[in-house]
Amino acid sequence: MEFVDGWVFGHTLGEGAYGEVKLVINKSTGEAVAMKMVDLVKHPDARQIVRKETAIHRMLSNPNIIQYFGKRSEPNMEYIFLEYASGGELFDRIEPDVGMPVWEAQKYFKQLISAVEYLHSRGVAHRDLKPENLLLDNNDNIKVTDFGLATIYKMQGKERCLDRRCGTLPYVAPEVLKRPYHAEPADVWSCGIILVALLAGELPWDQSSAEYPEYTAWREGKYLQFTPWKKLDNSSLSFIRKILVHLPSSRLTIREIKEHHWFLNNFSEGEGQIGNAAFKFNCTRLDYEASQVKFCLSQPELPREENLNSVNINLETREGISFSQPAHMEDLLISTQVQMLQQTQPSQQNPYQRLVRRMTRFFVTTDCESTVKRLVTCFESESYTYRICDFGIVTVSTVDRRKMPLVFKANIMEMDGKILVDFRLSKGCGLEFKRRFIKIKSKLDDIILKGPSTWPIAIATQTSS
C-alpha cells in the first residue's frame, strides 16, 4: 500500500470489530493522524458500513466529537483518517469498583451530553455510547468516536423510529431490546449508564430486561441491596434515577438533564465522595527519541501457544515504515486544516515522542525475554489462553464476569535501554480489562520499576480543565 513519503506508522491506538486504528506521524512536521484500517478481505460486508460511517462523519463538526479528515479506498482495505486523541480512552480513567470523584465525573458527563445534544441536533443517533467509545484529547476533553452503528433518524424535521437492535448490552436501553424505539431517549439511557460507571467503577446490570434481578430490583425500587448504588451520594443517585427510567417517555430529556441541579451544581474536589472514592490519577506521558524506541507495527498471531522455554523476541525487527509517493498528495489528506489542528500538540515534542496516554503500562527491571516469561506465568496462573508473536506481543483471551469474550494485548517495547510493558484492550469491557490489569500488575510488583525519578519519561498529572 502506498502512502506519502515521510509518513511513518506509530503504535496501534486501538482495535475494533473490523480492524485496527494506528497512529500515523509526519517525520518532518510532527503532524499526527489516527488511521482506521478496515480489512475488506476478512470483512467483505464492511465497505457499506464504512460508506455510511464516513457520510455521517462528514456532517459533524463539534469540539467533543472526533474530527473526520477523509478516507481512502483500496481493493482490500478502507482507510479512515481521524483526529488523533492523545489523551487515551475514558475507561482508563475509571478505577474499577471505585469510579472517580463526582466533580470529575460531572465534567466528563457534561461534555458527553454536549456532544450527544449536538448529534441529535444533526439528526444523528450514535447507538453505541460507552466509555470505550469516548476518547480524550491532550487537554483531557471528551471526543466521541466510533460511528459504525450510528444512523440518521431525523431529517428536515421528520423523525423516524428505529428498529435495529444494536449497541453493547449493559449500555442498551430496555426499549431497544424490544423495538421499535425512539433514538434520543435510547442515547440518553446510555449516557446514564456511563455516569454510573464513572461514579461507581462498575456497571449496574448485564442487561436492562426482566430476566436480570439487578434490573428488576432497580425498577421496583429495591436496588439499595445491590452495588453500585451504595457507592453513590444522594444527589447523584437521585439524578440517575430520573435518567434510567424504564419508560422512555418518562425519562429526562437532554434539555431537562441540563436544567437539573446536579448538572448545574459546582462540585468542589472531595465533595460528594463515598468511602475512599476520592483520588487523583497520575498520567504518564512517554517522551522518547526515534532511536530509543521500536514500535510494534503489526500484530500477527501464532496458530499455537509458544513453549515457555523457547521465548525468543526480536525487538530489532520493529522499525518504522515509510511509504512511496502516491499519484496524488491528497490521498493522505495532508492539508493546512490538519496542520493547524496539530499545533495544539506540545511544541517541544519530537514527532516520535507521542505515545497515547494510558495508565495500563509500566516499566520493568527485567529484560524482554524474562519479562515475557513472567507475564506467561501470570497468565497461566489465571488460566488465560495466550499467544506470543515474534514482535514482543502477547495476546490474552479470557471471559469477563458476564461470560463475554475479553481480549487484551501486552506489548513489550524497548525505551532508552529499559523495557516498557504496555497493555491494550482489544475486545470486551474496559472496566473488566482494567480489573485484570491491576491483578497482573500486583503479581509483577517485584520487577516493576519503582519511582518516577528513575524513569526516562516526564510525568504529567491530569487535572480538571
Q: Is 221 left (phi over 0), alpha (psi -120 to 50) or beta?
A: left
Residue for grid cell 509458544: 306
Establish whether the linkage from the previous residue to 101 is cis, with ω within 30° of 0. no
**Exposure letters 157-170 (e unless 16+ CB within 10 A, then b):** eeeeebeeeebbbb
Give the pLDDT of the chain (465 residues) as one tens digit per residue. 335 567 788 777 877 777 788 888 877 877 889 999 999 988 888 888 899 999 999 999 999 999 999 888 888 999 999 999 988 889 889 999 999 999 999 999 999 999 999 999 999 999 999 999 999 998 999 999 999 999 999 998 899 999 999 999 999 999 999 989 999 999 999 999 999 999 999 999 999 999 999 999 999 999 888 889 999 999 999 999 999 999 999 999 999 999 999 999 998 775 554 443 433 333 333 332 222 333 222 222 223 333 333 333 333 333 332 222 222 323 333 332 333 334 444 444 443 344 566 788 899 999 888 999 999 999 999 999 999 987 788 999 999 888 888 999 998 988 777 899 989 888 888 889 999 999 999 999 999 988 653 443 333 333 333
Q: How far apart are CA 242 and CA 1, in angstroms?
A: 51
Long-range contacts of 255-263 (CB under 8 A, 24+ apart): 257/113, 257/188, 258/113, 258/117, 261/235, 262/106, 262/235, 262/236, 262/238, 263/106, 263/109, 263/110, 263/113, 263/239
**Domain 7-85+283-302+330-461 matches domain 96-264 at the CATH topology level:** no
Q: Which CATH number fits domain 7-85+283-302+330-461: 3.10.50.40, 3.40.190.10, 3.30.200.20, 2.170.130.10?
A: 3.30.200.20
- 119 CB-near residues (< 8 Å, 6+ apart): 60, 62, 65, 125, 126, 144, 150, 187
Which pLDDT score, from 0 to 100, does residue 353 have?
43
Q: How far apart are CA 69 and CA 335, in angstroms?
A: 9
Q: Thinking of the domain 96-264, which architecture would CATH place it in?
A: Orthogonal Bundle (1.10)
pTM for the complete prediction?
A: 0.76
Of the residues 45, 92, 97, 128, which is catalytic? 128
Domain boundaries, the chain: 7-85+283-302+330-461, 96-264
Alpha helices in 384-448 (DSSP H): 430-443
Largest CA distance in the chain: 66
Which helix H or strand E contains 39, and what residues bound it?
A: strand 32-39
Is 284 strand, coil or helix?
strand
The question of whether 146 is a catalytic residue gets the answer no
Contact present, 451 and 280 (Cβ < 8 Å):
no
DSSP annotation of 134 reads E
Strand partners, 285: 458
Strand partners, 386: 396
Q: How far apart are CA 142 and CA 351, in angstroms?
A: 23
Residue 365: other Cβ atoms inside 10 A: 14
CA angle 253, 266, 140 (to 5 degrees): 80
